[in-house]
Amino acid sequence: MVLDTTDVKSVAAFASAIKPRSLDVAVYNAGVFGSRDSVVVAPTREVFDAVMHANVFGAMQLIPLIAPRLIKNKGTFAFISSRMGSIAGISSANGVVYRASKAALNAVVKTASIEYGSKGVNAFVMHPGWVKTDMGGADADITVDVSIAGMRKVLADAGKSGLLHNGKFFDYTGAEIEW
């Protein structure tokens, strides 16, 4: 099934399709970079809306649909974010709309961790690393295989940790990132 997280009808169809299921693990991985401009260039409304809808709105639509399905199994809900969404870690001015969207996603997940953590669900954020993809580019630090292997280990560790991952931000190596 195709899921467009920016389309309310697509999200509703997805929710209907998985309605009777309980889940152990869910990973929200949706992202658009948009303009690589810094704060010296005002974003267009189209760029802002596209990035915010993909990176934040979609997660906000899916959390109330997916998280309740994780309660029975005390499951894990991980969200792929970016170190660029760490306010404490900002060291350059590029990609301001993407940075803002990932900081907003992080805030949404932190909020969800409070609501659903009390029900046994581990909700947290992961940074996949700077990965050699279309978005990351050829100069990125790691390959897709390295990133995925690392994130799979973080997910497995979260499943064994009780709620030690809940409400936190990790990179693909399992190192905690400052918000």
* pLDDT at res. 2: 85
pTM value surpassing 0.85: yes
Question: Helices marked H in 19-143 — which ranges?
Answer: 45-52, 58-71, 96-117
Mean pLDDT of 160-171: 93
Could you identify the residue written with the tokens 């889940």?
Answer: 23
Residue 37 has pLDDT above 80, yes or no: no
C-beta atoms surrounding 71 within 10 Å: 14
Residue 164 has pLDDT above 90, yes or no: yes
pLDDT (tens digit per residue) in 58-107: 999 999 999 999 999 999 999 999 999 999 999 998 899 999 999 999 99
Per-residue DSSP letters for 142-159? B-HHHHHHHHHHHHHHHH
Count the helix, strand and coil residues of the chain and give each as a percent rounded to the nearest 5.
45, 10, 45
Helix (H, G, I), strand (E, B) or coil at 113: helix
Q: Greater confidence, 19 or 22?
A: 22
* pLDDT at res. 25: 96
Instruction: Collect all residues with Cβ–Cβ distance below 8 Å to 42 and sequence separation of at least 6.
Output: none
* pLDDT at res. 133: 85
| Cross-strand bridge partners of residue 118 | none
pLDDT (tens digit per residue) in 25-34: 999 998 898 8
Q: Write down the mean pLDDT value for the chain.
A: 93
* pLDDT at res. 114: 98
What is the chain's Cα-based Rg? 16
CA–CA distance, 172 with 148 (Å, rounded to integer)? 8
Distance (Å) of CA 96 to CA 29, 52, 93: 20, 12, 6
* pLDDT at res. 172: 97
Helix (H, G, I), strand (E, B) or coil at 58: helix
